[in-house]
Structure 1
Amino acid sequence: MSDFLQVLDSRTGEKYDVPVSDNFVLAADLAQIKGPVSGGKKQQKSGPENLQKLRILDVGFQHTACKQSSITLINGEEGDLRFRGHRIQDLFHKHNYQETIFLLIWGHLPTKEEAQHFSDSLAAVASPPKVVLDAVHALPHETDVYSLFLTALSAYVGADKQMITSRHKAESTYHNNMHNTDAALIRAIAYVTTATAVAYCHKYKLPIGEPKSTGTLVENYLRMIGRPDPTGSIARSIDKLWIIYADHEMSNSTAAFLHVASTLTDPLSCVIAMAAAGSGPLHVGALELCYEGLELLGTVDNVPAYLEAVKAKQFRLYGYGHRVYKAKDPRATLIEELMQEHKAAIQANPLLQIAVEIERQANTDPYFVDRNLKMNADFYGCFIYTALDIPKDIIPALLVASRCGGAMAHWREAMQSPIKIWRPIQQYKL
């Protein structure tokens, strides 16, 4: 017999064998356990209709898996991160971002021909349509970049005829239709990257540059924002950073993406949900708070007093700690490699000097060491953008763009699987 839990229900005296597979139990198996809602007294045999299924209360979904997936594996105990079985270190050192997201989406690394076709397909839809430009230009330049970014994404949904019509058809446009799914996810990835460029250019009153048909996502982003990169070093650094951020299993924003995807809507509407989730101060939005905290410190001389205030719970240290990792986040080691490449720029930037000093002191302070509080790689990597002289207010949108390939992998997986709309339950409590 397979592994199982033996459950004795003290309320009813009933015994149950609950199957266990890979240390998971099915909630449906637990629901076979029935008992009186009030508890405390055994249910009379004459009233089985009063028995109710056992339910699980898991606030914040800390102990509950909402789906099965073969895309990304995180072993937080050992500090291991793999995409489709490939170690993140190998992808970082041997491949580029577009090859990495191809792997995430289609399950294998591309051949030379597949990589070229994928790149050409992305570049073919990189130029923003007039309706997207008009929607963003209708907002004041003072509007924050993330709001401009969300506006551009919404306008893109309205500009894509298939995405519009998919919401008005009884038959799903994408579910079990890999032709439509693959074409739509390619468009969505390109749209999101271009939306970041459109938002940036409007914010800083810059003309939008023309993408090249031979350019990669990152190269065309730099070209559209008018950023010269004669040696290609900026594009290479961002490309490597995007590999690190390409997917991270079931993050809050990915869960929001898939929650919306379960309704069978278009992929870009799902991205908008993902981006909205990321805007909160407990997710990607914490990045801005992290930068603001660094600016308030002003100088590295204030770091010791600041950390003491954090330990006294007078301040929150944004950008530290991660729910998943108990060992060192493998992405942090790769980010350290990138930071070494830009060491001179980091040392010349007062803000980054403060960040590096906070990390140095926190890594040797028993308070942080004992609690395994290390700088979150999601924030640590953003210092690379600052070293490349990219304004901090566009970085949250760039994080969404870099995660979009992974999100589309999850979407494609969902479109090939039986669909059940995500509808959690609650416990009503007076």
Structure 2
Amino acid sequence: MVTVSKQTPRQSLTVVDNRTNKVYEIPIKQNSVLATDFKKIKAQKGDDREEDETEQGLRVYDPAYMNTAVVQSKITYINGQDGVLRYRGYPIEQLVKKSNFLETAFLLIYGELPTKSQFNNWQNEVMHHTFVHSDIEGMFKSFRYDSHPMSMLASAFATLGAFAPEANPSLKGQKLYTNAASGNPEALQILDRQILRIIGKAPTLAAASYRMRQGRPFNRPAHGLSYTGNFLYLLDHLSGHEYQPHPVLEQALDALFIIHADHEVNCSTATVLQVGSSLVDPYSVVSAGCAALYGPSHGGASESAIRMLMEIGSPEKVPGFMAQVERRERVLVGFGHRVYKNVDPRSTAIRALAERVFAVTGRNRLLDTATALAAYARKSEFMRARNLYPNVDFYSGLIYQAMGFPLDFYPVLFAVPRCVGWLAHWRQMMLNPAGVKIWRPRQLYVGESARDYVDPEERKAGETVFDAPVPVQHGDDSKRNELASYKDERGQTWGRAKL
């Protein structure tokens, strides 16, 4: 620790490099410092490795971006210590209570709540873009019936881009979207048209993945229904006329869509921005977001939380399960969050929704186990010391299950509304007046230093299981092929048997 003499406070950080005894003053702006300012802190190479690049300036090492801000954003604010979540300044609790999903989508993307006329135009445009090309239905039919719906959805968004070549910067020029930052009306129109297309078609694609799993024909979008009402129609309508989803389920899904619409620079949003920084088309960007959201540590967590509750089975088994968690033998899902060190405000909003849904669907049979687990967490010193409170995934999974959605469809129900957040951040990036710089994180290279090529006969095998591929088990047909023989294209004979 270096003690600096008292003087008038100023917004800067004084750094003393003990290698050189040089003093650097790093400006502090918005309680942050520029990582590139640390590149000015240089030293002569001493005992360092060549790969440490000491003479090129100090690097900032932050595994998994634990404390690195990568963008300046006006979209979503999270205070993890106090359990605060706001969209464009509006508390999530107020939006869930008073807004609807499409209004919130407009807010996230364009910065303000829409006027009545703006909302009507926005809603009409989004719902106008709900239909997809019939050839995309053929793409869904190429999947196995038991494919995971998120695999289908990620592929569907990428496929959707192939039907909009005019929206592809690789075909139309790299400034197709970044020209919008100067107010270019044509660029802005192209940019916003793709946003309308993706938001409008997301429920249609998601429902197609569901119907594909069910072996049912695809529905066409129904005009006159709300965004979530149309989604439920696409999922469930079988026959008859004037189909109307239950209003409580429709409203609950709409509220869940608001809650899941954005969450700052999470894993999938960071993926969207990383991919988007290459100036690729927004369909590829959203497809990449789906791939990131798919993981069990991100959008797949609600599915994992329900599987955990099903495995626990009953309230009386909670203490035994938690004893295993505390011994680090099991992983607890649905509790704790990378950002929130207090109650997740989304989970508070969802609990009220859950009661309304259960009043219609009947009480979820896992609710007693979930309640017992939450009660245990409140009393457990192990949980309190680690700030492990129920998060959004813990309660949303209970609602989805009560509404009859299969477990592997939960990430899809997350992805549909999250398209709005992804597109809001992508649009913000494209409209940056300073331009878009491709994301290129640095690394600390800790591998081998320069060495000479080794001839095959002089090489030694690695000593651990990680140093070569592990043996792979093949099907029984491989054994038959192994016992057979054949000639390759060069005429060489292979196999144990003689021709």
Structure-1-length-normalised TM-score: 0.93
Aligned to 1:321: 336
Q: CA deviation at 1:381?
A: 1.9
Q: Which residue, 122, 131, 137 being the options, matches 2:135? A: 131
Alignment of 1:81-100 (within 5 A): 81-100=85-104
Can you give the 5+ residue segments of structure 1 that lack an aligned partner in the other structure? 41-48
1:429 and 2:432 correspond:
no
1:142 and 1:343 map into 2 onto residues whose CA distance is 29
Matched letter for residue 108 of structure 1: E
Q: Which residue, 40, 44, 51 being the options, matches 1:36? A: 44
The SS at the match of 1:412 is helix
Aligned to 1:251: 266
Q: Is the 8 A contact 1:75 1:81 kept in 2?
A: yes
Alignment of 1:160-199 (within 5 A): 160-163=164-167, 165-175=168-178, 176=180, 177-199=187-209
Deviations 1:77-123 (A, max 9, x none): 11111111111111111110111110010011011111111111111
1:146 and 2:154 correspond:
no
Q: CA deviation at 1:210?
A: 2.2
Deviations 1:34-65 (A, max 9, x none): 1134468xxxxxxxx98321111111011111
Taking a change above 3 Å as real, the CA distance of residues 92 and 251 of structure 1, as seen in their structure-2 partners, is same
Q: Which residue, 16, 29, 47 being the options, matches 1:8? A: 16
Deviations 1:111-136 (A, max 9, x none): 11111111111111212321211001
The SS at the match of 2:192 is helix
2:94 and 2:42 map into 1 onto residues whose CA distance is 49
Q: Is the 8 A contact 2:39 2:57 kept in 1?
A: yes
Aligned to 1:26: 34
Residues 74-83 or 148-157, more deviating: 148-157
Q: CA RMSD in A?
A: 1.9
2:123 and 2:79 map into 1 onto residues whose CA distance is 31
The SS at the match of 1:51 is helix
Taking a change above 3 Å as real, the CA distance of residues 354 and 347 of structure 1, as seen in their structure-2 partners, is farther
1:55 and 2:63 correspond:
no
Aligned to 1:43: none
Alignment of 1:12-411 (within 5 A): 12-38=20-46, 51-163=55-167, 165-175=168-178, 176=180, 177-227=187-237, 229-344=244-359, 348-411=363-426
1:166 and 1:311 map into 2 onto residues whose CA distance is 51
Which of these two proteins has the greater Rg computed from alpha carbons? Answer: 2
The SS at the match of 2:208 is helix
1:420 and 2:437 correspond:
yes
Taking a change above 3 Å as real, the CA distance of residues 106 and 17 of structure 1, as seen in their structure-2 partners, is same
- Percent identity over the alignment is 34
Q: Is the 8 A contact 1:73 1:83 kept in 2?
A: yes
The SS at the match of 1:102 is helix
The SS at the match of 1:60 is helix
Q: CA deviation at 1:272?
A: 0.9
Taking a change above 3 Å as real, the CA distance of residues 33 and 321 of structure 1, as seen in their structure-2 partners, is same
Q: CA deviation at 1:350?
A: 2.1
Can you give the 5+ residue segments of structure 2 that lack an aligned partner in the other structure? 1-8, 181-186, 238-242, 448-499
Matched letter for residue 38 of structure 2: L
Matched letter for residue 439 of structure 2: W
Deviations 1:213-252 (A, max 9, x none): 3333211111111255444221111001111111110101
1:270 and 1:38 map into 2 onto residues whose CA distance is 44
Q: CA deviation at 1:201?
A: 0.5
Taking a change above 3 Å as real, the CA distance of residues 28 and 206 of structure 1, as seen in their structure-2 partners, is same
The SS at the match of 2:171 is coil
1:148 and 1:366 map into 2 onto residues whose CA distance is 43
Q: CA deviation at 1:150?
A: 2.0
1:82 and 1:348 map into 2 onto residues whose CA distance is 31
The SS at the match of 2:336 is coil
2:138 and 2:366 map into 1 onto residues whose CA distance is 36
